[in-house]
Structure 1
């Protein structure tokens, strides 16, 4: 694990955007295309804006989500809407977006999204966030599918997740999908989340703070944190 500290979120966003853009360009040079998975919430907005302004061959980049709230893409809670408004702009408007919400039936959405993603795997880059409860993607403490989603030998790319800490059902990438990514980043900010992160490192059972599963199975994880 590589842990990098920044004085503020703007500095972090610029560094992260440049590093991720470099990874995407390397993937394009190597295999002709690149697949990026990003997370929702307020934290990545500055990163999205910085990344969208960087000149790479965006027409060869596919963008998807680490997880999605099962709400209409027009909802203010939709991660798809966030990415459309904040990332698929400027130079990045040429990128191809692969949604997780594709149908009003959540199980049909999972199947359709997996099929759409299959031809673009593996992930070249995934940028994860983390909640104050230690969840990442939609791997929440107490989620009904947590054990299945964090099984290192699991075969599923996506699963439906219901959890006490989530306001609606979610679609989440599984731990094996995250661990298979060429480059994994964890982006969080503030002292409260720093305490959560440190507690997760010491927890005897990662199910109490599921970011612990990622820390255990992604030894090359790049952690970026702003004070």
Structure 2
């Protein structure tokens, strides 16, 4: 289901409101809720708005969809990004489960990470994915050395280690099977170029070429919710929230 918004601000407000409602429902039903979010520049405004939501944040566990193998004080750390934009204000009391622990390589602590992430409640209440112009989502990169395993819907493991030409550092990523059973699964993209990539991914083809296809094709009881807005200077959609 595609939700189009006229601006980044409108998208961020709507997405934050929707995510907060699902988290509140999880807390009311189960006493706790879980959220996995992406790094990068696209979700910055959404995360800032979500951080101010009126929730019992002490009952929320937050983790990342994926992480670069760098310490939290590194400028490319998704954990550092999350602390600056989400884990502040009311949301500062949420429990944060990082995907990086001090080690020379992620391979050394893969089993520890699998156990830690596998121990979180399943399914996640909310997962918010992003997408690059190369069609990657999470750290499912074209040419990734473990891409086949990471996007295998039958893979029971929670995390995979990924190295790929477009990834820069080694990455830790949640696996497809750990992501797509979320109660609310969102793909948050902005700009005409990414919308074009998404349209291409809906056509027949291999997930090894455009890994976002693995998410689009994964069997789910609930639809994937796609939130899109134009970048500054691009034409907005004709409707503030056009569902197709």
* Pairwise TM-score range, normalised by the shorter structure: over 0.9
Report the 3-state secondary structure (helix = DSSP H, G, I; strand = E; otherwise coil) of the residue aligned with 1:11: helix
Partner of 1:78: 77
Largest Rg, 1 or 2 = 2
Report the 3-state secondary structure (helix = DSSP H, G, I; strand = E; otherwise coil) of the residue aligned with 2:67: strand
Ranges in structure 1 where 5+ consecutive residues have no aligned partner: none
Ranges in structure 2 where 5+ consecutive residues have no aligned partner: 231-244
Q: TM-score, normalised by structure 2?
A: 0.90
Q: Which has the higher helix share?
A: 1
Partner of 1:125: 126
Partner of 2:167: 166
Tell me which moved more, 64-73 or 117-126: 117-126
Alignment partner of 1:224 is 2:227: yes
Q: TM-score, normalised by structure 1?
A: 0.96
Runs of 4 or more off by more than 6 Å in structure 1?
none
Aligned residues: CA RMSD? 1.1
Q: Answer whether contact 2:118 2:157 (CA < 8 A) is retained.
A: no
Instruction: Measure the CA separation in 2 of the matches of 1:110 and 1:36.
Output: 21
Tell me which moved more, 22-31 or 103-112: 103-112
Q: 1:218 to 1:129 in 2, by over 3 A?
A: farther
Instruction: Measure the CA separation in 1 of the matches of 2:116 and 2:31.
Output: 18
What does 1:103-122 correspond to in 2, within 5 Å? 103-104=102-103, 105-122=105-122
What does 1:7-156 correspond to in 2, within 5 Å? 7-104=6-103, 105-122=105-122, 123-156=124-157
Instruction: Measure the CA separation in 1 of the matches of 2:168 and 2:203.
Output: 28
Instruction: Measure the CA separation in 2 of the matches of 1:17 and 1:76.
Output: 25
